[in-house]
Structure 1
Amino acid sequence: MTRQLTVGLVQQAAWPDKSKSLAESEAGIRELAAKGAKLVMLQELHATHYFCQYEDTELFDLAEPLDGPTGTRLAELAAELDIVLMGSLFERRAPGVYHNTAVVYDGKRGVVGQYRKMHIPDDPGFYEKFYFTPGDHDAARNEGFTPIDTSVGRLGVLVCWDQWYPEAARLMALAGAELLLYPTAIGWNPQDDETEKTRQKDAWTIIQRSHGVANGIPVLVANRVGHEPDLSGVGAGIDFWGGSFVCGPQGELLAHAGTESERMLVTLDLDHGENVRRWWPYLRDRRVDAYGDLTRRLRD
């Protein structure tokens, strides 16, 4: 008998009004749980608009502690519906120290772990280094590239910009992750031409599917949708492209969302990954004695 897990992803628009954004998230969570999802995943920073398009110290007021109103509401939902729920918080850890944090709630057990985004971008329209402190990496304290144990399996949770780094996915896999989860917020500059838009989205999808292939485990990706203006008036805003998906351990697409709000439900065969790793034992054949230079910035 195979181990099966029904997972749900909420792809949604979000707004500066937290109550409106969270109501949309909650509706998706409830719908998916009613249809049998045991693990539900939300996108990055789902409680607010994507505020990192410009720099403004007043926007730090959006941050909350892990047990603040947003975290408390997500914990209550997970307990009520008896599901594992992955949410995303703009975390206020201390004055001047804020994180982009994915939090995992496991039914009535409450919070079972969190992951603070490790790779922080700083690009036009994505000024995240202004807002977010990178997470620490300390496996002994379950910080950084360390999976989170839940009642449905061991989750390798990473966040958005982390998705471009094979090292992050590999470290999660080496620590026993059974699934990779990527909550994300990515989209196009409306001024880009269609060819450039296609290249960007294809690259984003391919790199994450490749993490499934390289590590022999399924990958879940939840992205936001809708046009969000640059409230500073400087930029053209961002058209978030959606495209959330679930792929299996050979990179096979099991579900792939469009560009509008959507709730996705997929049943995974977790034992298939065991077979894939037997057929293609990448982890066995790694030349760990020859990779020391990976910890250097460049090889001269």
Structure 2
Amino acid sequence: MNHRKILKIALIQHRCSNNREENLKSISERIRRAAESGGELVLLQELHNTPYFCQTEETRLFDLAESIPGPTTDHLAGLAAELEVVIVSSLFEKRAAGIYHNTAVVFDSDGRLAGRYRKMHIPDDPGFYEKFYFTPGDLGFTPIDTRVGKLGVLVCWDQWYPEAARLMALAGAELLLYPTAIGWDPGDDADEQLRQRDAWVTVQRGHAVANGLPVAACNRVGHEADPSGQSQGIRFWGNSFVCGPQGELLGEAGEDEAIMLVDIDLGRSESVRRIWPFLRDRRIDNFADLQRRYIDE
């Protein structure tokens, strides 16, 4: 039986300036180019409207947040409807006074706000002080239904957690999508930088294999200075990629700005899961300890 279901996905990785309007204008132009090239689903990088502001903790930066619906969602919804594409965006959401989220927003090809996902895993590492800004997500791991399929949308730090990918798969996601902002400390040597990037790619390819699903991760590029001057900033490594349900690489970008278009056969998941039935063979009767932080005994 032929299960082929081809989806052309576009990943847009780019630099961000301090001008939100110029960033959104540039993103919109790239979405148009992707649609003109046949893209049906466009994946944007994490917090694409601004530089990555979490390098420092400053209360004034909460002013960057916006409501959903709001100006950016209105703009992207109109663009999705005009171009008849599905868009996965990533915004700094102001939910209420004192409650902010790192939120992925999905627009269907008719401009409808199909759904949102609030980042669940929030890092707090040197240069990535996200716990200061973001309240952990409370929408769970629920795929978002669109014209092109059920999208398992997660965000950046979520990509290191196999549980997040698995729960999206168990809920019926047809592919996993990760808007991302990850980079190197310029002070790290070349070997350490290579290890970090390879680990990032490897763990996500592992999610594809373990769940029999395609995975796409879209990362930003360019050096962004530390506004406090306390560090050398972050050099975002790009390398956005798409892999199939056996972890096979279908497309990979470099460290420069790019619009990467890749054909994904969503039907392959059915074939792969027939020969590798990992979901069937899960010993759910013995997984209760996964709810513990650590097993001390």
**Fold match by TM threshold 0.5:** yes
The 1-side partners of 2:150 and 2:110 are apart by 18
C-alpha distance in 2, partners of 1:10/1:38?
A: 13
- Counterparts of 2:257 and 2:26 in 1: how far apart (Å)? 10
Count of aligned pairs: 294
Q: Is the 8 A contact 2:80 2:111 kept in 1?
A: no
Contact (CA 8 Å) 1:187, 1:241: kept in 2 or not?
A: yes
Which residue of 82, 88, 91 corresponds with 1:89?
91
SS in 2 for 1:22: helix
The CA deviation string for residues 138-191 of structure 1, in whole angstroms up to 9 with x for no partner, is: xxxxx2211001110000000000000000000000000000000000000010
Specify the alignment match of 1:134 in structure 2: 136
Which residue matches 1:182?
178
SS in 2 for 1:108: coil
Task: Work out which of the residue numbers 259, 266, 269 in structure 2 matches 1:270.
Answer: 266
Unpaired stretches in structure 1, ≥5 consecutive residues: 137-142
2: CA distance, partners of 1:234 / 1:113: 38
Deviates more, 1:100-109 or 1:157-166: 100-109
- Cα contact 2:79–2:111 (8 A) shared by 1: no
Deviations 1:26-48 (A, max 9, x none): 12111110111111110000000
The structural deviation recorded for 1:195 is 0.6
Worse-superposed segment, 215-224 or 24-33: 24-33
Q: Secondary structure at the match of 2:125?
A: coil
Mapped partners of 2:186, 2:25: distance in 1: 28
Mapped to 1, the partners of 2:196 and 2:111 lie a distance apart of: 39
Amino acid at match of 1:72: D
Distance 1:214 1:126 in 2: 28
1:259 alignment partner in structure 2: 255
Give 1:70 deviation, angstroms.
1.2
State the alpha-carbon separation in 1 of the partners of residues 183 and 5 from structure 2. Answer: 35
Query: Sequence identity, in percent?
Result: 64
* Cα distance between partner residues in 1 of 2:92 and 2:111: 22
Q: CA RMSD in A?
A: 0.8
Q: What does residue 288 of structure 1 align with?
A: 284
TM-score, normalised with respect to structure 2? 0.98
Q: Secondary structure at the match of 1:208?
A: helix
Amino acid at match of 2:129: Y
Runs of 4+ in 1 over 6 A off after TM superposition: none
Which residue does the alignment assign to 2:121? 119
Give, as a single letter, the amino acid of the residue that structure 1 aligns with 2:14: Q
CA contact (8 A) 1:12 1:24 kept: no
Q: Could you tell me how far 1:108 is from its partner in structure 2?
A: 2.1
Q: Is 1:279 the equivalent of 2:269?
A: no
* Gaps in structure 2 of 5+ consecutive residues: none
